[in-house]
Amino acid sequence: MSEVIRQTLVWGDGPLKWQALVQVARHGATLMLSDSAWQRIAQSREIVGNIVAAGQVAYGINTGLGALCNITLSEDELSQLSRNTLLSHACGVGPVLAKPEVRTILCAAIANYSHGKSGVSVALVQHLLALLNLQITPQVPSQGSVGYLTHMAHIGLALIGIGEVEWQGEIMPAQQALAQAGLAPYRPGAKEGLSLVNGTPCMTGLACLALDDAERLLDWADVTGAMSFEALRGQLVAFDPEVLVLKASPGIQRSGERLRQLLSDSPLLKASVGIRTQDALSLRSMPQVHGACRDQFSHAVRQVETELNACTDNPLVLGTPQAWRVVSQSNPHGESVAMACDLLAIAMAELGSIAERRLDRLVNPLVSGLPPFLVAEPGVNSGMMIAQYVAASLCAENRQLAQPAVLDNYVTSGLQEDHLSLGTGSALKLLKLVSNVDHIIAIEYLLAAQALEFHGESQLAAGTRRAWQHLRQVVERWQQDRWLAPDIACAVAQIKAHRADALVG
């Protein structure tokens, strides 16, 4: 058997991009920190040690937490406080997160600690890296976070040998997995319990996965939209660059250019010039709608990467061991990421919505000019009729998921934390919404490919022909009714496994 060679990434000497988290979380890249990152971590830990030794009061280092911030603790209570913090905060509920989701949260936490402003020890970060690189994945309930706390608490439990993890394909007690991997349970010291549950790694890490999914779908929507446009004999003049440049949107220019690349050499569209004055909006407004979604994606990238490169602990440990400050502030408040996820959810819901309108036109004989529901013998065959129902259902669910989470607010910790971002919930619902869009675009892919069959391969543009052939590798053309669910699943798999750039040319 050939040995799998994994990419190794080194963080700590420059800005992080969201793609770096995806490489580790989804594709198994090994993560290391730079020497300068380790030096920063060690220096901040020295400051914490000095504070504890001097007995000076500093929130989160030698006090209680949240509404208990005015209770001062002795040095021998601080390790117990950190352990108790993990135990008391690990109260999430619901289905566990998928492995890449837990791993991306771990990545975002390590990125936060690499700044050397959290006051955690080198040993703690080494243990987190060991979990990540050895593929020991804590079992983390998906529900219960108002933006922070519960998800990271469950990850922290695995560090100290409590709870369950997934390792080598099995679910087992954390202590057993640590022992088999040659790791000892970690004993957290002063401030480390608070740092493990604090900050915004949950929403930031999950948002990076959502960006990965959204970027892929934005490109695929141009491809499946072009296929539908060609099958419905659209008027290509709507994508004229002289027209689109009159709206100074980078997203519009990008989608317009891709649609022209996919369709400009289509014999079918050349023969269809002038058959109607204008097309329905779901066809002719693709550059404007897809482009608006791309612009919101770019905005979300800026917000998420800002947070990814931020110090998001409370308190933050600043200065040097000789001249330090411990500052209690609100960098753990993830308002910008929550808003970005909510806005991107609206954009992706729109991407799915316009795709559903296009695919509906493909199966509707009143407007398609094609056989009803895209089968040669309608009546005895229902064809693609109910696939459109499924897409409509997913769009309806997306309208619910696109409701902003950041507008919700609840009071926690005895009035001490009385404004919350709900950013983790925003990121989780965005991931669910994007998964729905995967299926909507896959259904359009199936239907558009079937529609193009009725025109003949020789009539297709080079780009749409490549996309059609790509699908036909895994899904045969329909001639009579067969079990449709597996075909949808195959189309989804193709969209998830492949980027669309190679199809554009």
pLDDT digits 0-9 by tens, 322-370:
999 999 888 999 999 999 999 999 999 999 999 999 999 999 999 999 9
308 located within any domain: yes
The region of weakest confidence among 8-12, 229-233, 375-379 is 375-379
Residues 106 and 247 placed together within one structural domain of the fold: no
Whether 131 and 156 have beta carbons less than 8 Å apart is answered as no
Residues 427 and 467 placed together within one structural domain of the fold: yes
> Residue 436: what pLDDT?
98
> Residue 4: what pLDDT?
45
> 3-state DSSP call for residue 502?
helix
Residues 145 and 228 placed together within one structural domain of the fold: no
C-alpha to C-alpha distance for 271 and 269, rounded to whole angstroms: 5
- Enumerate residues 6+ apart whose C-beta is below 8 A from 182: none
Residues 216 and 193 placed together within one structural domain of the fold: no
Average pLDDT rounded to a whole number, residues 40-47: 97
Residues of the chain above pLDDT 70, percent: 98
Where does a domain end: 198, 214, 231? Answer: 198
Residues 231 and 183 placed together within one structural domain of the fold: no
1 located within any domain: no
The region of weakest confidence among 58-72, 225-239, 382-396 is 58-72
CATH number reported for the structural domain that contains residue 497 in this entry: 1.20.200.10
Residues 78 and 112 placed together within one structural domain of the fold: yes
Residues 228 and 256 placed together within one structural domain of the fold: yes
Where does a domain end: 198, 219, 246? Answer: 198
> Residue 66: what pLDDT?
67
Q: How far is CA 475 from CA 129, 462, 501, in A?
A: 41, 20, 21
Average pLDDT rounded to a whole number, residues 446-461: 96
* Block residue for tokens 């109260």: 91
Write down the mean pLDDT value for the chain: 93
Residues with a known catalytic role: 59
Average pLDDT rounded to a whole number, residues 376-400: 90
286 located within any domain: yes
Nearest to 21 by CA among 202, 220, 216: 202
Residues 184 and 210 placed together within one structural domain of the fold: no
379 — pLDDT class (breaks 50, 70, 90): confident
- Enumerate residues 6+ apart whose C-beta is below 8 A from 70: 63, 64
Per-residue pLDDT of 147-174, as tens digits, reads 788 999 999 999 999 999 999 999 999 9
Whether 86 and 151 have beta carbons less than 8 Å apart is answered as no
Average pLDDT rounded to a whole number, residues 406-433: 85
Residues 373 and 457 placed together within one structural domain of the fold: yes
C-alpha to C-alpha distance for 482 and 467, rounded to whole angstroms: 22
DSSP class of residue 96 equals E
Residues 372 and 232 placed together within one structural domain of the fold: yes
63 — pLDDT class (breaks 50, 70, 90): confident
Give alpha helix (H) positions in 134-248.
150-159, 174-180, 192-197, 201-231, 241-244
Range(s) of the domain holding residue 264: 206-504
CATH number reported for the structural domain that contains residue 65 in this entry: 1.10.275.10
3 located within any domain: no
2 located within any domain: no
Number of domains in the chain: 2
Average pLDDT rounded to a whole number, residues 447-466: 96
> Residue 67: what pLDDT?
67
Per-residue pLDDT of 211-224, as tens digits, reads 999 999 999 999 99
- Residue 19 in this model has a pLDDT that exceeds 70: yes
